[in-house]
Structure 1
Amino acid sequence: MDNIELRANKASWAIGERLRGEVQSYQYHEVGSRIFTAKFLLVNKSHSITIPDDISWERISSSHYNIGNLIDELFYKIVHNNEFNLDLLSNFSLSKIGDHVLYDCLMIMDRSSLTIEEFQDTNLTGQYFLHLIQRLMENEGKELGTSVTPEGLNKLMIEILNPSNGSVYDGAAGIGGSLIEAYRFNNDDISMFGQEINGSNVALAYMNAITNGIDLSRFQIAKGDTLFSPAFIENDSNLMQFDYIGMNQPFGLKLNNIQMMDYDPYGRFSGRMGKISRMHGDLAFLQHTVASLNETGKAAVIVPVGVLSRSSHAERAFREYIVNNDIIEAIVLLPNKLLSYTAIQTVLLVLNNKKKSSRKQQVLFINAEEQFTSKGRSQHYLTQENIDSIVAMYEQSSTNTEDVKVATLTEIIESEFNLNPNHYFTSQTVETQFGDVIINKAVYDEKVKNKRTLKEIAQLSRGVNLPSKNTIKEGQKGYKVIQLKDVEDGKIDLESIEVIPVNNAERYMVESGDIIIASRGTAYKVAIVPDHYEPLVLSNMFIRIRIMDKAYKPEYIKIFLESPVGVALIEGMKKGGTVKALTTRDIEDIEFPDIEIDEQEKINQTVNDAEQKYIDLIKQAEEKLKQGKLSAYSKMGIENVIEILD
């Protein structure tokens, strides 16, 4: 199979190079997909599509004229001679591309494609088509996330669903990957339904199904908006409901025509599952998923973790609904970097209207963050071994382990319906100055007996909201406002701070000795406000911790917050989607070791001495490097050209 991927990659690169300057780059995949599908239809002997008798691959590939017209004619006749809804296959014409260009592309496909014998194996043709399209889209600079879910994620969803028969549905079908994976998993007893808003993707989904050997009488992708105009309706008034749903829904979708959703005839977006707003696209797809499950249905949906933990009324109402109705079965915390188009932390949410008795009144949290294989530094993927490990934890786990937490519905209700898996795991991997370390919060709670909470010794408040830049007028008076860019390596750069006009500045001013901690974004930043001689205001990117109890040193609290334990406690509380966020309520209950002030001062001095030694060693190393290079330049004879300015 690796050889298939290599051949597809080679063909896609060569086709992209040949089409460069001849068609728009975003059309490369339109050309490549139609050439390969045309060859499949004319060469494979087992598919059920009716094709015209007067067109053959030999006729097309040996012709130097009318190549585009011949392929267009093939698709036109297929559309009109088959009962399936294949209209979109002819929505892109090859006739406008020069015959000499198309001929070269056909030759590339012949050289780097499959043999005639291999074209009879739909496992091979399906794999080839997928890799071809992925690489062509990447050549175009497309983000695959809008169309193509990574193959490993599709496999994980389907193996969790374990479809044995019945109907499988995807309301954000893209090019049909989840449905085709369901077919590969069990090609005897399932029917496949999907909806996709992008017409080009719908055409690709049908070509994907054809080259995978799927009987199109069991495969239907509708073009349209799943939320505003769902395609699968029964009795003209009810949503069609399905046995299985596997979906990688759009992230961070903003909703238009929100007024229409208040009057949704299927009751998805108001009432029992929470009334949504324009910002609730993630939630709307989840509401649609629940409404589209039949009474024994099961869903596996990839979602941003924020929708399971954010405090908006609508999202909490949805979580209350799925918890109180006991339809949430498992939440799998996925590895990062599986989706190339986002850094958002993602989970696989498993809903089940017919949970087995041993799973009732509880939710299975699975930490699969370490279940990945690297493809370079920037991309991770799931191998079959990774998938098998996750599925085994899902199917076999009944007690708590390092990577599994079985939470009762009572625990979840007591946690205010927070479904973020990080909230429930006692062990957590965090990035620190020592590299990645594992922190066991249960051991911390057990072994460190004397602890106090931040709210017992300090006042906590957030910073001020900043005005948008286009509202600031030149010459307008303001205050120096500390922003994220002003804090590096635990220090505040007082010289770089901008003056910004803000309202009610006095409420948000900081004093010397205040601790500030970043409340938004991925960077973990903690600093102590130094002595200063003019007013400083804190932006809403930070939370201010002002120590009120003189028995505690700010430096000691900062050292704890920067420790691996402090980082784990803070990171486990961050909520949100694209931008993770903290509130004062999140961190006010964080417990730190309660020790005497003289011991705190000793700890502070130990850290100060270590930091100073580190700085001195860095300076020594820099001086040795400098002298070594100057010696090398002297041997080159260029030392007299260099004048060092202090």
Structure 2
Amino acid sequence: MVELHQQELKKQLWNIANTLRGNMSADDFRDYILGLIFYKYLSDKLNRYADHLLEQDGLHFADIDETSAGGKETLDDIKEETLDKLGYFFKPSELFHVLAERGENGQFILSDLTNVLNHIEQSTMGADSADDFNGLFDELDLTSNKLGKTPDARNKLIAQVLAHLDNIDFHLEHTEIDILGDAYEYLIGMFASGAGKKAGEFYTPQMVSKLLAKLATQNNANLKSVYDPTCGSGSLLLRVAKEANNSDLKFFGQEKNPSTYNLARMNMIMHDVHYSRFDIQNDDTLEAPQHLDLRFDAVVANPPFSASWSASPLHLNNDRFADYGKLAPQSKADFAFVLHMLHQLNDTGTMAVVLPHGVLFRGAAEGHIRQHLIKDKNYLDMVIGLPANIFFGTAIPTCVLVFNKHRQADDNVLFIDASQYFEKGTNNNVIREEDLERILDAVAKRESIAKFAHVASPAELKDNDYNLNIPRYVDTFEEEDAIDLAQVAKQLVECELAMLATDNTIAAFCQELGIDSPFEVKE
């Protein structure tokens, strides 16, 4: 029942998005459709909670008279309760259903909708939830020409979206949070797949998220905190929660892009993460880190591959980078993210990060940092090669590096080559469940497996000059079958005899016709 409801919900939501976005790019329409779904979620949740509070009085939230003295007093009481429990409040006249109904009746609702979204944010001012709702609907510009050339055209489109969403029942007793949250996650992924080259900046494919989450929690399922310095839509943080055994897990993240930052906060709330349990910040993690004094039980990330950063020499005085003596190149910030993440990881935690293959073997400053991480710090625990073309917008091969700070001096490093295990898709290759299990089984066994995994000693890493290129450790070469020379000679003789027989047949045929060649033309 739950699964069927979820699949139907996904189908309806995507159909609505696909039908109504018209000529607008997926990137643009994403912010509108996801924002309005979020508004409906907040509205339905508030309505149910307020009805619960009013149950003993035999009242319904939607029926309260906002203009009467008694109604105002009741609303004040409900506001106090909902701000504490939900973190926000708005009036009955501002419920999603009310505006959707007015829009369906042909009324102009754009200005009222803008006011409602502003009121939701304003209701949190002075409350503990204020930071998590601040600017949450900034990307919903209802005056944008992308929605239509005239106010009436824009109003008609938005009214259509509200009407379609209003007809969907998001509520399924005791399970609606996971169902709607997962459907929301599905929509994020669907938009990412069609949003062009920058899509990977806000969404990590589901199986990659699952792999990182399982690796980060494998030795500590009871972790209390998880951090993602490039959290995008927050999907990776939420995936870790599914693998952890702590319903009070705290989420920390930072995201540079403002619209994606808003998406991450919405995603947290849609998955019923209370505002007191997440701290997502909007800024450049490498240049302006917001959680520098904190340490986390798990750190996971899918940073933008080979991004540019300042690489300012001043960073060498920063605790994140000072020990390594050199900075990641200005045009390749991969190791800058790695060192930042390690700084935020506590002494007993685990870190898992997706990176381009270049970090395994590039020299100069990156080679120096890599050697320091392995030889001097002894933080590297695993190197896992992934298939090419599994991320939206880029076909490059990638790898997962796993680090922890509690390794012993003689601990080995596990190499896994999973690059050949995937299903070919239309636009992207896909890691299947069985491919994931193959990787996790090798991680659990931690032993050499022919053509798939290799356990490398510290001495072997040193002999390879700390080059981590996977083929140096996992031999996937397939020998061809030995050539049977006698059989080849026999086949050549048979071929020669066949050709002679053919020549004799052709000669006899020509003689019978009285010509010298089958290609001779006779008048």
Q: Please, what TM-score do these two structures have when normalized by structure 2?
A: 0.74
* Letter in structure 2 aligned against 1:103: A
Mapped pair 1:11 → 2:65:
no
**Offset at 1:422?**
1.6
Partner of 1:507: none
Q: Is the 8 A contact 1:26 1:142 kept in 2?
A: no
Mapped pair 1:73 → 2:125:
no
Cα deviations by residue, 1:4-56 (Å, 9 ceiling, x for unpaired) = 456435533443442435x6764201110111111111113477232213322
Q: Is the 8 A contact 1:28 1:137 kept in 2?
A: no
Taking structure 1 as reference, are residues 283 and 263 closer, same or farther at Cα in structure 2, changes over 3 Å only?
closer
**Matching of residues 136-285 of structure 1 within 5 Å:** 136-141=191-196, 143-162=198-217, 163-186=221-244, 187-234=246-293, 240-255=294-309, 257-259=310-312, 261-263=313-315, 265-272=317-324, 274-285=326-337
**Matching of residues 595-606 of structure 1 within 5 Å:** none
**Offset at 1:140?**
4.9
* Letter in structure 2 aligned against 1:49: G
Q: Is the 8 A contact 1:242 1:292 kept in 2?
A: yes
Return the alpha-carbon distance in structure 2 between the equivalents of residues 78 and 142 of structure 1: 34
**Offset at 1:117?**
2.4
More strand by share: 1
Taking structure 1 as reference, are residues 370 and 177 closer, same or farther at Cα in structure 2, changes over 3 Å only?
same
* Letter in structure 2 aligned against 1:293: L
Return the alpha-carbon distance in structure 1 between the equivalents of residues 190 and 96 of structure 2: 24
**Matching of residues 25-424 of structure 1 within 5 Å:** 26-44=27-45, 45=48, 48-54=86-92, 55-64=94-103, 65-82=107-124, 83-84=128-129, 85=131, 86-96=133-143, 98-111=154-167, 113-117=168-172, 121-141=176-196, 143-162=198-217, 163-186=221-244, 187-234=246-293, 240-255=294-309, 257-259=310-312, 261-263=313-315, 265-272=317-324, 274-312=326-364, 314-324=365-375, 325-355=377-407, 360-376=410-426, 378-424=427-473
**Offset at 1:310?**
1.1
Question: Which shifted more, 162-171 or 265-274?
Answer: 265-274
In structure 1, list runs of 5 or more residues that go unmatched: 235-239, 429-437, 440-563, 566-592, 594-601, 614-646
Taking structure 1 as reference, are residues 79 and 384 closer, same or farther at Cα in structure 2, changes over 3 Å only?
farther
Q: Is the 8 A contact 1:248 1:302 kept in 2?
A: yes
Return the alpha-carbon distance in structure 1 between the equivalents of residues 5 and 430 of structure 2: 19
* Letter in structure 1 aligned against 2:44: V
Taking structure 1 as reference, are residues 320 and 206 closer, same or farther at Cα in structure 2, changes over 3 Å only?
same
Return the alpha-carbon distance in structure 1 between the equivalents of residues 194 and 357 of structure 2: 31
3-state DSSP class of the match of 1:366?
Answer: strand
**Offset at 1:137?**
4.6
* Letter in structure 2 aligned against 1:53: K
Q: What count of residue pairs does the alignment treat as equivalent?
A: 429
More helix by share: 2
Taking structure 1 as reference, are residues 66 and 52 closer, same or farther at Cα in structure 2, changes over 3 Å only?
farther
Q: Is the 8 A contact 2:170 2:176 kept in 1?
A: no
Taking structure 1 as reference, are residues 26 and 157 closer, same or farther at Cα in structure 2, changes over 3 Å only?
closer
Q: Is the 8 A contact 2:192 2:203 kept in 1?
A: no
3-state DSSP class of the match of 1:348?
Answer: strand
Partner of 1:468: none
* Letter in structure 2 aligned against 1:127: D
Q: Is the 8 A contact 1:15 1:108 kept in 2?
A: no
Q: Please, what TM-score do these two structures have when normalized by structure 1?
A: 0.61
* Alignment RMSD: 3.1
Q: Is the 8 A contact 2:96 2:166 kept in 1?
A: no
Cα deviations by residue, 1:386-445 (Å, 9 ceiling, x for unpaired) = 3233222112223454421000011001100011222101224xxxxxxxxx35xxxxxx
* Letter in structure 2 aligned against 1:210: I
* Letter in structure 1 aligned against 2:230: A
Identity %: 22
Greater RCO, 1 or 2 (C-alpha within 8 Å, sep 6+): 2
**Offset at 1:365?**
0.6
In structure 2, list runs of 5 or more residues that go unmatched: 50-84, 148-153, 497-523
